[in-house]
Structure 1
Amino acid sequence: MFPDHTPESAPPAARPTMAATAKKFGHVPAAVARMATSPELLNGFLKLNAIFEATTLPALEREVVIMTVATRNGCHVCVAMHTASLEGLSAAPELVTALRAQVPLPSARLEALRRFASTVMDTTGDVPPASLAAFVEAGFTPRNALEVVLGIGTYTVSTYANRLIQAPLDEAFAAHAWDPETVGASR
């Protein structure tokens, strides 16, 4: 139902994005090839992602938010890709393992971030004052709280789309394969 488009076969509005993605990665990832069925979704996700990357949250903290969303939503593609991103950031192996397993993180600050992101998702944004206070007490700001919401929204788009299109895992990320069934992720 969702074909693996090429830059030539994709709807015209998706072609520039696909070409740019191929130039950046050396190939068109399978998820991008299938998301190209809707140029609006593909372009919208990539624009949101660029905005999220421009937030005041450092790269490692953004990755904690992304992995929290990806594991919760059972997106094997996002977990594998962002495991590679974490390794590229020289994240501690214990941190990566904990994120993938959906268990408390070894860093108190990053655990506060993970808990806050989970609480935002669990409460659909109706975060109890004590949870917001704990987040701020961990050194985060009200601006960061809203940036977490942006990250959740951005990666909800990605994880839902990847699951809907049944995006296969690219060979480049096979070493980071993840099975949500083995960690009790909701599907």
Structure 2
Amino acid sequence: MTFVSHTIDTAPDKARPIIEATTRKFGYVPEPVARMAESPELLSTFLAGVAVFDRSTLTEVEREVVVMTMATRVECHYCVAMHTPKLPGDVAEPLRSGKPLDDARLEVLRQFTTAVLATSGGVSEEDLAAFLASGFTHRNALDVVLGVGTYTLSTFANRLTDAPLDAEFEPYRWDPHHTGRSATG
């Protein structure tokens, strides 16, 4: 059964202020928000988590590496497309195609995020030591967990609701089953 893409008129009462704020911010209601609005609690928790993650100790690019690593692993086509333009091409393209990053520090972050996901947080001492040796801190490690937890909500919800890609992100369409996974084709 298809999930409803809510509008301000069809959304549950508690979701309406969120949809109004999102419309002011983006100029439209992104499909994931329209579909998550069915559960105002999920939507508000996710958006609050994003705001907290944005204040974490990771830089903007580092946060995007965590998000893209998470999104490609769980095959969330929407998140990959939405987050691709937030990164330089030399970072976005390898993440989209599952290849190592040229930037050594960001590659350690990608590997650590992958380890957190693969072990449900039970990373090995070696993985944590490599992360710390590259200049990251214990707090940064916990902020990776914060990002994974926050974006688990959206990636799982987007997949469950089969949120279609909005036109704004069509140039960054990603197919996890297509070799290359390029933003351009």
TM-score by length of 1: 0.94
Question: Hey, what's the Cα distance between the residues in 2 that align with 1:24 and 1:51?
Answer: 18
The within-5 A match list for 1:86-165 is 86=87, 91=88, 93-165=89-161
Question: Hey, what's the Cα distance between the residues in 1 that align with 2:179 and 2:147?
Answer: 23
Question: Hey, what's the Cα distance between the residues in 2 that align with 1:183 and 1:133?
Answer: 33
TM-score by length of 2: 0.95
- Alignment-derived partner of residue 43 in structure 1: 44
Deviations 1:10-63 (A, max 9, x none): 000000000000000000011111110010111110001110000010000000
Question: Hey, what's the Cα distance between the residues in 1 that align with 2:123 and 2:36?
Answer: 32
Question: Hey, what's the Cα distance between the residues in 1 that align with 2:3 and 2:64?
Answer: 28
Which one of 164, 168, 175 corresponds to residue 172 of structure 1?
Answer: 168
Which 5+ residue runs of structure 2 have no aligned equivalent?
none
Over 4 Å off, 4+ runs: none
Percent identity reads: 55
Which 5+ residue runs of structure 1 have no aligned equivalent?
none
- Alignment-derived partner of residue 10 in structure 1: 11
Question: Hey, what's the Cα distance between the residues in 1 that align with 2:114 and 2:180?
Answer: 15
Deviation (angstroms), 1:184: 9.5
Deviation (angstroms), 1:154: 0.7
Deviations 1:48-106 (A, max 9, x none): 111000001000000000000000000000000000222xxxx2x22111010111101
Question: Hey, what's the Cα distance between the residues in 2 that align with 1:138 and 1:7?
Answer: 46
